[in-house]
Structure 1
Amino acid sequence: MAETEIKKRTGLGALADAGDADDFSVIDAIGGPRGVVESMLPGVVFVVMFVITSDLHLTIGVSAALAVLQVIVRLCQRQSVMGAVSGLLAVGICLIWAWNSHEARNYYMFGFLTNAFYIVLLAISLMVRVPGLGLVIEFIRTLPTEHLRAWLADWRGDKALNRAYTIITALWIGVFSLRLVVQVPLYLSNQVGWLGTARLLMGIPFWALAIWVSYLIVATPMHRHKTLAEPNADAMDDNNETEEQH
């Protein structure tokens, strides 16, 4: 049966709709129950298999087969496979890293690098006073096909909204940093079981918490900003129509 419901956006896309949404759902924002299971399952299988068997090759083979199976199931059900494919690529990179190094702990190295990359990128955005989360969310909300400076000035000029974006950018830096503070020592001490457990607990749960707190912070100023912007947009449209008539 073809899907008739309009799918809600996930991740930062869900925050982009925060100014309009009265029924914001964290579960929907992180991909729904199925999305949560699909994103966590390869990691769960990897750590459980390795702890039980200590066989890296078998663990990698089973985890890879599971990730591919998830994509195949979605294809057979004629559902969107973008999330599953992106997850497959991420898992694939992790598995290849572990395979080439012959160390199970290196399955988590790609995650360390991406977290560090996000920390640096978001920190730079705060230094130049263009909060990274605000930049991404506003880009999703209103794609700036032209007049980039006006687009930037529009949301950065709203002090309450810009302050909210600054706060949640700092919040996400904190989330990524905490992951590294907890997990890197476990990596260095080669405690794969505890490292895998920490990775799972600080993955989707932290992601959901960060999105929920971010929503609480940005929803009101974003709604207020959009409400104030609508009369100006209507006035501009009226002026353009008048000019065309003349």
Structure 2
Amino acid sequence: MTSLDKPTATDHHSAGPEGARADEAHDAKAVTEAALFEAFGGLRGMVETVLPGLLFVTIFTINKDLHVSAIAALTVSLLLVAVRLIRRDTVKHAFSGVFGVAFGVVFAMMTGNAKDFYLPGMIYTLGLALAYIVTTLAGVPLIGLILGPIFKENLSWRTRNPGRKKAYAKASWAWGLILLAKCAILFPLYWWADTTQLGWVLVALKIPPFLLAVYLTWVFLAKAPPPIDVFAEMEAQEKAEKERKAAAAAASAQREA
């Protein structure tokens, strides 16, 4: 993937069958990249995910004050949401960050242990890893459930597009195993390391595993068959039904005349 920011379209089209196939492949990759951008928030979403935790561990490293560090992390999360609301942008990624930080703050304040600021997020990561694996084993890979509506295919890939179902299964396995590997590093550190060590390792592991999982998802889906646009199919069916009724009404009018 060239970028996690919103992709740009190209106006260049090659002539001939080979050029047409190349254009179709390019368009499929662009659509896949755009869907991943929408689903996972792109560069801005990553910044919103990393910044609160980075601020918490930075302040705690300097002054060892749990309350100041927690309040700073929560404040910056709220500011990120406010900026999105002011600009009328999509707020789902920023809101998820606020909830994650809020749970961490509450948990750490209740226990008095600064390391517990990270525990809810770690538990969520483990649960998400298991969700990717379990849903794939059940035949409904989670990444397909997430991206299906964005591709306008809903669940059509389950029964009508086996190539895409296979790609979604591969992508879900990638997400599940990558997140499990991340948990295998973080949970031992939660018990053995101090707050600053855990915090810096966690910040360092925010982006690289995510980028790897998104890249592998893009690779699998870019090679998969195109999605079936079920919304376009429904619109076509509705249009055909209206035309049939109009034709039937016209024929009935002619007979009566």
Q: Note whether the superposition's TM-score is higher than 0.5.
A: yes
Task: Calculate the aligned-residue CA RMSD, in Å.
Answer: 3.4
Residue of structure 1 equivalent to 2:33: 24
Other-structure match for 1:189: 192
Q: Measure, in 2, the Cα distance between the counterparts of 1:235 and 1:56.
A: 59
1:216 aligned onto 2:219: yes
CA distance in 1, matches of 2:95, 2:151: 24
- Partner Cα distance (2:224, 2:185) in 1: 33
* Corresponding pairs, count: 223
Deviations 1:180-224 (A, max 9, x none): 10000100114322221222222233222211210111123242x
2:188 is the counterpart of 1:160: no
Rg bigger for which structure? 2
Gaps of 5+ in 1: 1-6, 10-17, 145-150
Instruction: State yes or no: 1:202 paired with 2:196.
Output: no
CA-CA distance at 1:122 after TM superposition: 2.4
Among candidates 120, 123, 126, match of residue 116 of structure 1: 126
Q: 2:150 aligns to what? A: 140
Letter in 2 for 1:213: L
- Helix, strand or coil at the partner of 1:24: helix
Query: Which one-letter code corresponds to 1:204 in the other structure?
Result: I
Q: Aligned ranges for residues 44-83 of structure 1 at < 5 Å?
A: 44-77=54-87, 79-83=89-93
Shift of the 42–162 alpha-carbon distance from structure 1 to 2, 3 Å rule, reads: same
Measured after TM superposition, the shift of residue 63 of structure 1 is 1.9
Partners of 1:76 and 1:235 in 2: how far apart? 38
Partner of 2:117: 107
Change (3 A) 1:27 1:138: closer
Aligned to 1:14: none
Distance of aligned partners of 1:238 and 1:75 in 2 relative to their CA distance in 1, 3 Å threshold: closer
Deviations 1:9-36 (A, max 9, x none): 9xxxxxxxx8462693799565344433
Deviates more, 1:131-140 or 1:211-220: 131-140
Q: Using the alignment, how far apart are the partners of 2:92 and 2:115 within structure 1?
A: 27
Query: Given residue 71 of structure 2, which amino acid in structure 1 is its aligned partner?
Result: G
Q: Partner of 2:149: helix, strand, or coil? A: helix
- CA 1:68–1:158: 2 relative to 1, 3 Å: closer
Cα 1:72–1:157 change in 2 (3 A) is closer
User: 1:44 Cα deviation (Å)?
Assistant: 0.7
Read off the aligned partner of 2:73 and give its amino acid letter: S
Residue 178 of structure 1 aligns to which amino acid in structure 2?
Answer: A
Distance in 2 (CA, whole Å) between partners of 1:27 and 1:137 is 8
Shift of 1:143: 7.0
Task: Provide the residue aligned with 2:18 in structure 1.
Answer: none
Identity of counterpart residues, as a percentage?
23
Query: What's 1:172 paired with?
Result: 175
Distance 1:20 1:169 in 2: 19
Q: Which runs of 5+ in 2 are unaligned?
A: 8-26, 249-257
What do residues 118-146 of structure 1 show as CA deviations (whole Å, max 9, x unaligned)? 233222212222222122221333375xx
User: Taking CA–CA contacts closer than 8 Å with sequence separation of 6 or more, which of the two structures ends up with the larger relative contact order?
Assistant: 1
